[in-house]
Amino acid sequence: MRRCVASGESLPVERLIRFVVAPDGALVPDLAADLPGRGVWLASNRKALEKALSVKAFARAARRQITAPEDFAVRIEALLARRGLDMLGFARKAGQAVCGREKVDALARGGRIGVLLCASDAAEDGKSKLQRLAQAASPGANMIDWFTSDELGLAFGRENVIHAAIAKGRMADRFLIEATRLAGFRAW
């Protein structure tokens, strides 16, 4: 548990983003939470970031002046999306992730879906049908629908992907943490 500088609320680390201050005073998001220095933690959402910057919460926590670019929230969103898509690509290479309606259906019928991914630009009826199937066959499966078909396509090495799934296990759990952190920055 860490305390968010914007709200003062104690939250699990999985729902926060760590920031460090570079020697030149630049605020740096530490998504892997492994950079040296004293960390400042913030709830993983755009509103918390805007509040923390407006009330100078980062500067108070770091006890020094900090600088952040004008489009900081957009940059963090891009970094979080990249991190999630890289993790999805690793899951694919490890044989833990599949794409395409038939392969996702087969994984669902086997009761092995940990995370179901539907493109944000997919048809609503297709999303709901697949979600019902996944919930019936794999209770507790989580659905993520804030990646575009182009983004999912990048992770699978295809032009675009509408439906994908990650099998139950550690890869699915880790991906879910990263995708949930991204959800707070996506403005759909």
- 82 and 136 in a single domain? The answer is yes
Place of tokens 């999306």: 81
- Tens-digit pLDDT string for the chain (188 aa): 999 999 999 999 999 999 999 999 999 999 999 999 999 999 999 999 999 999 999 999 999 999 999 999 999 999 999 999 999 999 999 999 999 989 998 998 888 999 999 999 999 988 888 888 778 877 878 899 999 999 999 999 999 999 999 999 999 999 999 999 999 998 65
- 44 and 9 in a single domain? The answer is yes
- 87 and 158 in a single domain? The answer is yes
**Domain region containing 171:** 77-183
CB atoms within 10 A of CB 75: 14
CA gap 57, 61 in Å, rounded: 6
Q: Select from 35, 68, 101 the last residue of a domain.
A: 68
Token couple for 9? 């609320």
Contact 21, 57 (CB under 8 A): no
CATH number of the domain to which 178 belongs = 3.30.1330.30
- 62 and 152 in a single domain? The answer is no
Query: ∠ CA(169), CA(145), CA(27), 5° rounding?
Result: 85
Q: Select from 16, 35, 68 the last residue of a domain.
A: 68
CA gap 114, 134 in Å, rounded: 9
